[in-house]
Structure 1
Amino acid sequence: MMNEKKGRRPKIVVIGGGTGLPVILQGLKAKHAEVTAIVTVADDGGSSGSLRNYANVVPPGDIRNVLLSLSNIPHLQKDIFQYRFDTNDHFLAGHSIGNLIIAAMAEMRGSIFEAIQLLSKMMGVDGHVYPAAEEALILHAIFEDGTQVSGESKIAKESKKIERVFVTPINEDHEVKASRKVLSAIRDADLVVLGPGSLFTSILPNLMIGDLGKAVTETSAEVVYICNIMTQLGETENFSDADHVSVLHKHLEKKFIDTVLVNTEHVPEDYMNRERYDEYLVQVAHDFKGLSEEVPRVISNGFLKLRDEGVFHNGDKVVEELFKLAYESNRVRFAKI
């Protein structure tokens, strides 16, 4: 393959947030891709939300997990960075050390972007980590009944069908812009990957940043969507895989996704711990006819990994497919030059 012969690492941009993103990033790092992670900044729950409100900082939780997934520091240091104070610590209860460090460095540097770049050097990060925007954003949802709610953590609690989402800055007097280097990373990529992650609260908040979404729809890179394995309470109840893609296309008013990765392996009915993973409902239904109307290519495989009584993507299998697509995309792009 052209890239392999030249020895150039494939340039892969991954956009999202939540627990699924680090799994894919770890796999890409292990295979020596040139990785750029673009991380959502609309989280307002838990430790991230508390720090966001108290210290006026971009929510650090997803950023913390992404930095660790690409870091080369020893496991002990990673464990310290991830340590979360328990409920007996009163003021510090629920906060992770990593979140506090990110918030402190953002205050020191006067910029979340600069804080992340400095931390990336300190932590030996193999790749690039950028916040989707350099300010905290508010995620809004408009439901099919015409009602509206603001705040990422509140959306699923409404238990209504979402019509669309959008983002605004905390101070609604200016247009939201993508963070530095985000647009050039998308433009120069071989592959742009969306997900895995919550459709309305982890993926779309990034794409609803005007210039970022426009860059994704216009890039010459292959755009890949990793479809969720399970439907999600208050977000994607009764959704098929085609429904997920349709929502993305409707929000950006363009059929911009080139390839969808779909898991076809069955999730055992009694495997998942419903109390521990209470936001997940049932396995996403397949609608291959609907998918064929939305995207040029569907890659279906057993991308399932069962662990800790939960359902996850098999990072190794997903990354293997992503590498194939990245090399193919590179050949096509350079053939046009």
Structure 2
Amino acid sequence: MKVVAIGGGTGLSNLLRGLKELVPDYIEDLSAIVTVADNGGSSGRLREEMGIPAPGDVRNCIVALAEDEDILTKVFQYRFQEGEGLKGHSFGNLFLTVLTKITGNFLDAIETTSDILKIKGRIIPSTDENVDIVAKFSDGKIIKGETQITEYGKKLIAKIEKIWLEPEDVKAPAEAIEKILNADLIILGPGSLYTSIIPNLLVKEISTALVKSKAVKIYISNVMTQYGETDDYTVSDHIKAIEKTVGKHFIDYVIVNTKLPPNEVLERYIKEHAEPVVIDAANISKMGIKIYSDDLLDEGSYARHNPEKLNKMFIKIFNDIKSSTKVING
């Protein structure tokens, strides 16, 4: 299988950490297309001061695909706790910034860093241009910036009605389009709907290629809703938001988790105004989307997917795809 994963944040890096274990036995070619619209923390400071795309999500995905989580990988994830101008910065973000300035190209910086860490796949930004997310809320307020959108949403004054990029006409790297068009399987999510997944799809060339691609397209639904972004969203609501962005129905399968987090974890999330995403199977089926469901929950203090459990699900899906292809081809 040639597999492309699209997203950003913790969700994508966690997914990639699992998928790399399926290379090369099940996955012959693995690529990740990553959002660069983050404007908070270290990434936000480097964007503003150095005029480069946000490196944070790209860095996390590179580390996730590294063959071994050795000392060099830990160095790339090291975050300075002190030092004037350094405090809060990740070493990996600084490294990518320096390479971008030396080579004059963000894509070359990613490739060099990937070679150093010997990653099992390719990391490609959805655009190598500096870009911001802009959202219009139902109260008419227009908010610019990923961090600002999330914070405004948490006020629960209004919901996101429309979201776009500034500038709107940013280009996608040619390799990103090539990978999408040649993929056998394309995975969206898990991750923040409006600030990790959809920003990639707002790059028009990405959306066009996604619809044109003959790959099987899968959405991995989040375990919990996200305060200020997807309050009260069901699984089908997440899918509708994604397909509305692209402008066409294109998702074939959805993967959903069926197990609730432990009570102490669930109570903490509820206090933070998040709740388990409801699996509205009837609505999903009406959309012509096949549901793959199981206990996919990771252990620990966060309601996240377990990479090993997801891998078992993907192996089942790979086999189903191969079987259906054989039937079609006779």
2:306 aligns with: 314
Deviation at 1:147, TM superposition (A): 2.2
Q: Which residue identity does 1:143 align to in structure 2?
A: F
Contact 1:220/1:333 (CA < 8 Å) preserved in 2? Answer: no
Q: 1:120 aligns with which of 110, 114, 120?
A: 114
In structure 1, runs of 5+ residues without a counterpart are 1-9
Does 40-49 or 283-292 show the bigger shift? 283-292
- 2: distance between equivalents of 1:222 and 1:165? 26
Determine which of 294, 297, 303 is the counterpart of 1:304: 297
- If the length of structure 2 is used for normalisation, what is the TM-score? 0.92
Q: CA deviation at 1:24?
A: 1.3
- Note if contact 1:142-1:164 (Cα within 8 Å) is conserved in structure 2: yes
1:35 aligns with 2:62: no
Query: What is the root-mean-square deviation of aligned Cα atoms in Å?
Result: 2.0
* Residue in structure 2 matched with residue 265 of structure 1 by the alignment: 259
Amino acid across the alignment from 1:226: I
1:191–1:329 Cα contact (<8 Å) kept: no
**How many residues are aligned here?**
321
1:19 to 2, 10, 32: 10
What does residue 110 of structure 1 align with?
A: 104
Superposed displacement of residue 271, structure 1: 2.2
Which has the higher mean CA deviation after the structures are superposed, 138-147 or 191-200? Answer: 138-147
TM normalised by structure 1 equals 0.90
Of 211, 214, 217, the match for 2:211: 217
> Could you give the per-residue CA deviations for residues 7-29 of structure 1, whole angstroms, max 9, x where no partner exists?
xxx21100000101122112111
SS at match of 1:305: coil
* One-letter amino acid of the structure 2 residue matched with residue 35 of structure 1: L
Aligned amino acid, residue 136 of structure 2: I
CA–CA distance in structure 1, aligned partners of residues 257 and 92 of structure 2 = 33
- The code of the aligned residue for 1:52 comes to R
Q: CA deviation at 1:278?
A: 8.0
Q: Secondary structure at the match of 1:102?
A: helix
3-state DSSP class of the match of 2:99? helix
1:285 aligns with 2:278: yes
Q: Deviations 1:31-67 (Å, cap 9, x if unpaired)? A: 1122101110111011001111111111111111110
How does 1:58-69 map onto structure 2 within 5 Å? Answer: 58-69=53-64
Shift of 1:324: 3.2
Contact 1:233 1:281 in 2 (8 A): yes
Aligned residue number for residue 75 of structure 1: 70
Greater fraction of residues in strand: 1
Q: Distance in 2 between matches of 1:66 and 1:80?
A: 15
User: Aligned-pair distance for 1:120?
Assistant: 1.3
Deviations 1:208-241 (A, max 9, x none): 1001011112210000000000111110011111
Distance 1:185 1:211 in 2: 12
Q: What does residue 186 of structure 1 align with?
A: 180
Identity of aligned residues (%): 36
Does residue 91 of structure 2 align to residue 97 of structure 1?
Answer: yes
Change (3 A) 1:75 1:136: same
Structure 1 residues 288 and 331, CA gap change in structure 2 (3 angstroms): closer
- Alignment gaps of 5+ in structure 2: none
Deviation at 1:168, TM superposition (A): 2.0
Q: Tell me how far 1:333 sits from its aligned partner.
A: 5.9
Shift of residue 183 of structure 1?
0.7
Which of 141, 163, 166 matches 1:165? 163
| Separation in structure 2 between the aligned mates of residue 264 and residue 52 of structure 1, nearest angstrom | 39
Native 8 Å contact 1:11 1:326 kept in 2? no
Displacement over 3 Å in runs of 4+: 272-275, 277-280, 326-337
Structure 1 counterpart of 2:139: 145
- In the alignment, residue 253 of structure 2 is paired with which amino acid? T
Deviation string for 1:78-129 (max 9, x for gaps)? 111111001x323111001000000110111111111111111111111111
